[in-house]
Structure 1
Amino acid sequence: MSTPFASALAADNTVFTTQVNNGKYQNAQAMPANASAWGILWRYVSEQRVDATPSNGIPVMPLSASQLDALPADQSSVIRFGHSSVYMQVAGQRWLIDPVFSQRTSPFSFIGPKRFHQPPLELSELDSIDGVIISHDHYDHLDKHSIKLLKDKVQHFVVPEGVDQHLLDWGVNSQKIQRLRWWQSANFGELTVTATPTQHFSGRGLFDANQTLWASYVIDAPEQRIFFSGDSGYFDGFKQIGERYGPFDLTMMETGAYDKDWSAVHMTPEQTLQAHLDLKGKALMPAHNSTFDLAFHSWYEPLERISQLSEQANVQLVTPKIGEVFTVGQSQGTEAWWRALN
């Protein structure tokens, strides 16, 4: 069982605390405005795009429940399931981050961004899960269908403040839910999960903008410390997180779905690399790519750009295939698998 929340907020911190104004959550740092929805829609209608979706299948390494059971309990293992969905074995526990197994990231089953590939295994194949971490309530990170399938298999759900109401509406037992503000922590045996700031926004419809909080996470296990960025524009909060909790053995960083029209809430690869350095990260695993078409760039551009940038900066880049096991802390070679698909 988890212990009560423990605040990790320093007494002299007045900048990146959770802020609410008239029932809406706010970013702690002023940021430039994004383009209008009409302007972005016009670009989707009028702008010619190149390689928005892969012409060949994304390589997926199929997984089985027995393979997951065989992962060493004394090591931290990370497996990308697609987009920002990650399976982790840490501190001998089994966790999922932002599990999205639906075919589309949309409120509708017949329209919206469709998957490039299937997950490496189905949710029905997963045994009991110790915990699920949710970064925010956008459809590509919080999937109603997946949560409803998982709710009876999962012991704990860790969510930003306000996201708990979605889970309650979908039948998750309230005793399983840990809701966190920025800098609050929850302990699960030897594992500590801390919600940390991001620069983003929330909402699932036309009338619920920013009524729930968004977060990144520090995942602290005896063997390693891991950071998951969730979605964020680049901001000074990464330096603050790095000062408090770094260095990190692995950072799983948003690298994809960026654009000049929403630069305040999604990072370019250059900014992703800088955020990784701010966090005092060792190995960098790009996430938020290769599963859904959510921007105007080619599907492979985020991986190619971050690959070149990491090489120039002498940063260890980890780009496993979907379903491939990465053992945190090991010098494990990775393949630029996307280049064979162009």
Structure 2
Amino acid sequence: MKNGCWKNAMAALLLTAITGCGFIKSLGKKPAGDELARLDTLPNYKDGAFQNLAKHPDSTAKYDHFLFIFRKRQKPTRPATDLPWVKTNLLTLAATPPTIVWFGHSSLLIKSAQGNILIDPVFSNQASPVPGVLKAFKGTKNYKAEDMPPIDVLIISHDHYDHLDYSTLRKLKDRIKMAVVPMGVRSDLVYWGFDPKKIIELNWNQSTTLPGGLQITATPAQHHSKRVLTENKTLWASYVIQINKYRLFYSGDSGYGTHFKQIGQQYGPFDLALLECGQYNQIYVHMGLGQPAQAAVDLRARLLQPIHWAKFPEANHPWNEPIKTLLPAAAKLGMPVHVPRIGEPYALGDVPRTADWWDFE
């Protein structure tokens, strides 16, 4: 076989392999046609992309950010042993008061009398479309899509691979009654076979009330979106979740900013704030070094639970540095913190868990 033919054959085999394993499908599909034209009418969509409320830092801030990255390049970025976890039967959870189960990173199940809420589920054990890249920590792989109960509402915060996981959603699709997503993310779900009638898109400060009575409001976040090459063609969001008399806040991914105080004034106080804490190489679009504690105060939250940590090595800081810096910052501000083990259920109103299961290195 000639060299050119050999290369073509190998390319064809590679394309067949990645297509067969779902690689091409997992990339998703950007809004186009009428969908794109609709986005172009929105006030936070300008010059062909969604915009944050605050502008990017100036060159001095970027320089400081550059130094921050290298100053924080420390080991261990992965835990040396399996993380402790709790095996919970998700089908028999108590619904009153609402019960929250964290699966590591930002994946959460909320069981309530008004329905089961699944947020940013990633059970493929990697945060990349390429197999073997950004693999989950040991001890965080015990829960699978098959373990989930019927889902009344799926909530997605944005389209990054560590929040919008094709493999997981493909398995859960037929068990999800409704999906609530930020503007533009609908295109990915429809491409993956979701019924368009079962998808609700929200812009910031838009709300929807589901048949069971759950009220979900999309609120601003300071982040970005990108699934293939172009950035910010879909929106990113945080959420206010109203469950009867209980009010929860889910940050999605967000840097610290004045939007937390604005959300707290408009929608607070909150019984629980689920706030990102980790992967803060990009300090403008992520929180770290105690910032979630101040965000919880701004939100007027009664309790803070850190998320977006303890599953994937997405930054150069030690894997458990986020929680070690958060706790003293929260104590200084008088903010109670709940740090469950993966899979450990927590009913709102119970005593928060604070055992330092992460401090074994």
TM-score by length of 1: 0.87
Could you list the structure 1 runs, at least 4 aligned residues long, displaced by more than 6 angstroms after superposition: none
Cα 1:118–1:263, aligned 2, differ >3 Å: closer, same or farther? closer
CA shift at 1:48, angstroms?
5.8
**Inter-partner Cα distance in structure 2 for 1:300 and 1:278:** 24
Aligned: 1:264 with 2:275 = no
- Picking from 260, 276, 289, the partner of 1:238 is 260
**Inter-partner Cα distance in structure 2 for 1:235 and 1:264:** 9
Aligned: 1:213 with 2:238 = no
Q: Which residue of 1 aligns with 2:159?
A: 137
Q: Which residue of 2 aligns with 1:57?
A: 82
Aligned: 1:155 with 2:172 = no
- Structure 1's unaligned 5+ residue stretches are 1-16
Residue pairs, 1:99-248, within 5 angstroms: 99-110=121-132, 112-116=133-137, 117-188=139-210, 189-206=212-229, 208-248=230-270
Q: Which residue of 2 aligns with 1:288?
A: 308
Residue identity matched to 2:86: M
Contact 2:294 2:333 survives alignment (8 Å): no
- Picking from 116, 120, 133, the partner of 1:98 is 120
State the Cα deviation string for residues 86-120 of structure 1 (Å, max 9, x = none).
Answer: 0111343111100001121112113x211003344
The sequence identity of aligned pairs, in percent, is 39
Cα 1:150–1:18, aligned 2, differ >3 Å: closer, same or farther? farther
- Picking from 317, 329, 340, the partner of 1:309 is 329
**Inter-partner Cα distance in structure 2 for 1:313 and 1:73:** 31
**Inter-partner Cα distance in structure 2 for 1:52 and 1:24:** 33
**Inter-partner Cα distance in structure 2 for 1:99 and 1:258:** 21
Q: Which residue of 2 aligns with 1:7?
A: none
- Give the structure with the larger strand fraction: 1
Q: Which residue of 2 aligns with 1:337?
A: 357
Cα 1:204–1:294, aligned 2, differ >3 Å: closer, same or farther? same
Q: Which residue of 2 aligns with 1:3?
A: none
**Inter-partner Cα distance in structure 2 for 1:332 and 1:200:** 29
**What secondary structure is seen at the aligned counterpart in 1 of 2:244?**
coil
Contact 1:75 1:223 survives alignment (8 Å): no
State the Cα deviation string for residues 107-153 of structure 1 (Å, max 9, x = none).
Answer: 2113x211003344221232311111000000111001111111100
Moved more, 51-60 or 264-273: 264-273
Contact 2:114 2:214 survives alignment (8 Å): no
Residue identity matched to 1:82: G
CA shift at 1:18, angstroms?
5.1
CA shift at 1:165, angstroms?
0.3
Contact 1:151 1:172 survives alignment (8 Å): yes
Contact 1:74 1:223 survives alignment (8 Å): no
Residue identity matched to 2:313: D
- Give the structure with the larger helix fraction: 2
Moved more, 67-76 or 100-109: 67-76
Cα 1:47–1:234, aligned 2, differ >3 Å: closer, same or farther? closer
**Inter-partner Cα distance in structure 2 for 1:18 and 1:158:** 20
Residue pairs, 1:82-97, within 5 angstroms: 82-97=104-119
**What secondary structure is seen at the aligned counterpart in 2 of 1:269?**
coil
- Structure 2's unaligned 5+ residue stretches are 1-41
| Matched length | 313
Cα 1:240–1:48, aligned 2, differ >3 Å: closer, same or farther? closer
Contact 1:91 1:191 survives alignment (8 Å): no
CA shift at 1:23, angstroms?
2.4
